[in-house]
Structure 1
Amino acid sequence: MKIMYLTTELIIGFFLLFIIVKFVGKKIINQITPFTFIASIVMGELLGNAVYDHQIGTFYVIYSITLWGSLLFIVEYLGQKYLMFRGIFEGKPSALIKNGIVDREELKKNRMNINQLQSLLRQSETFSIREVAFCYLEANGSISVLKKTKYQKTTQEDFNMPAKPVYVPVTLIRDGKVLWDELKDLNFDEFWLKTQLTSQDISDYKNVFLAEWLEGDGLFVQKK
């Protein structure tokens, strides 16, 4: 009976969470704001406690998760509809560096010190504050950095070079298995694939760990 009880509640909880994530949106997965971060934790706790507490019936599992999901949906709806609610629930980015100057007051407001700021900058491939023109602390705790002009990466436009088309790499073989749908989308066939592999001294798909096609760069193959 305990196994059947647990199985029933897990199945119900699984599909309820699936439905809620579909309705509320992907933000709860990425935890874009502090609210969605806390909401996802509470939702997991609600399901976990309900499933393993035998005194709580299936009705209470459905009720608690449905109510919490409804509240999340209402909050998301209000945030999309009204700017006032959006500011309350999602928060606003804080400018930690303005025109190359660290704003100490903003650091204090966000309970941060200079060491933590430098650590976040290094994680964004910025190893000196002197490189930064503006730095914003986003609602989810990450930072957005705009570097000073002389520290910005050069682009084709800087050298007046003509723009080149951009292509997405496509995986054709993964762990010895051919992804036929991907091959078909590229208008290639099995003969073409075998020819490409033979040119790299590979006779069997099973010997390929990864094969990736990129327009203009050809087929990259890594053997097992």
Structure 2
Amino acid sequence: MEFGVILIKLTTGFVGLWAMTRLLGKKEISALTPFDFISAVILGDLVGNTIYEEKHSVMKLVFTLAVWTVLSVLFEKITSHIKKLRKPLEGAPEILIHDGRIDLVKLQKNNLDFDQLRMMLRAKDTFSISEVAYAIYETNGSLSILKKSPFETVTRQDMDLPAQEIKLPQCIIETGTLQRKTLESIGKDEDWLLRELQERGWPDIQSVAYAEINEEGEIDIVPGVIPKKQAR
């Protein structure tokens, strides 16, 4: 009976974890936020304790998985659909290097020192901080960098081209929703954006999954399928 109960619990735990993974979607390990990682560790501990403790029944295991799944899915839905809560709940990327200048305040805020910063840059095949125009510390603890134009993989110096000012691409449409702050920051209005989209064969803003303003000030559009309930 003891082995039979353990078998039932293991099977229940396996099916429950599989279902939870399918509900939450696929994520690479490197894309997990610290909260995601800690959540997975705690869930594994909860399931393990429930499986091997005789006093805990199969129903307690099912209840544990159900509650954790509901909380996890609810958290994912809130952060996905209510953008105002995304930053306080998940955190936001921090620009550690802006236009070639290191932001010491944000470096200290994220408990980083120069040794750690250089280590993360080396992981990006960058061995000198002076080569970096922008460095963004992502919410999952990784570092994204944009090099200065003379240090690009195929450098402008190699092609005998003048140095070019580096600017970060800015999101202007996300899941069919206009990012008005971005539009205002580049000094354009919605009519201009609609004209640009229609010239490229897109009827309106709601039909665009993602679009950004590139370094040259032009619109780059990434096609995609937008769920009807999200398109506004």
Please report the TM-score for the alignment, with normalisation by the length of structure 1.
0.66
| Cα distance between partner residues in 2 of 1:31 and 1:8 | 33
Tell me the secondary structure at the aligned position of residue 27 of structure 1. coil
Q: Is the 8 A contact 2:96 2:134 kept in 1?
A: yes
Q: Is the 8 A contact 2:30 2:140 kept in 1?
A: no
Match of 1:98 in 2: 98
Question: How many angstroms does 1:27 deviate by?
Answer: 3.4
| Cα distance between partner residues in 2 of 1:115 and 1:105 | 16
Q: Is the 8 A contact 1:46 1:64 kept in 2?
A: yes
In structure 2, the CA distance between the partners of 1:57 and 1:28, relative to structure 1 (3 Å rule), is: farther
Match of 2:146 in 1: 146
1:9-53 per-residue CA deviation (whole Å, 9 max, x = no partner) reads 000000000001101112385553222122111111111111111
In structure 2, the CA distance between the partners of 1:29 and 1:126, relative to structure 1 (3 Å rule), is: closer
Aligned residues: 157
Match of 1:198 in 2: none
Is residue 2:89 matched to residue 1:89?
yes
Q: Is the 8 A contact 1:29 1:40 kept in 2?
A: no
| Cα distance between partner residues in 2 of 1:108 and 1:120 | 16
Q: How does 1:25-174 map to 2 (within 5 A)?
A: 25-27=25-27, 31-154=31-154
More helix per residue: 1
Q: Which runs of 5+ in 2 are unaligned?
A: 160-232
| Cα distance between partner residues in 2 of 1:29 and 1:131 | 28
In structure 2, the CA distance between the partners of 1:3 and 1:31, relative to structure 1 (3 Å rule), is: farther
Letter in 1 for 2:61: V
Identity of aligned residues (%): 34
| Cα distance between partner residues in 2 of 1:128 and 1:113 | 15
Q: Is the 8 A contact 2:79 2:85 kept in 1?
A: yes
Q: Is the 8 A contact 1:24 1:73 kept in 2?
A: yes
| Cα distance between partner residues in 2 of 1:34 and 1:150 | 35
Q: Is the 8 A contact 1:28 1:40 kept in 2?
A: no
Q: Which of the two has higher C-alpha Rg? A: 1
| Cα distance between partner residues in 2 of 1:30 and 1:20 | 19
Q: Which runs of 5+ in 1 are unaligned?
A: 160-224
Question: How many angstroms does 1:76 deviate by?
Answer: 0.6
In structure 2, the CA distance between the partners of 1:9 and 1:52, relative to structure 1 (3 Å rule), is: same
Tell me the secondary structure at the aligned position of residue 92 of structure 2. coil
| Cα distance between partner residues in 2 of 1:26 and 1:89 | 20
| Cα distance between partner residues in 2 of 1:127 and 1:100 | 15
Q: Is the 8 A contact 1:35 1:89 kept in 2?
A: no
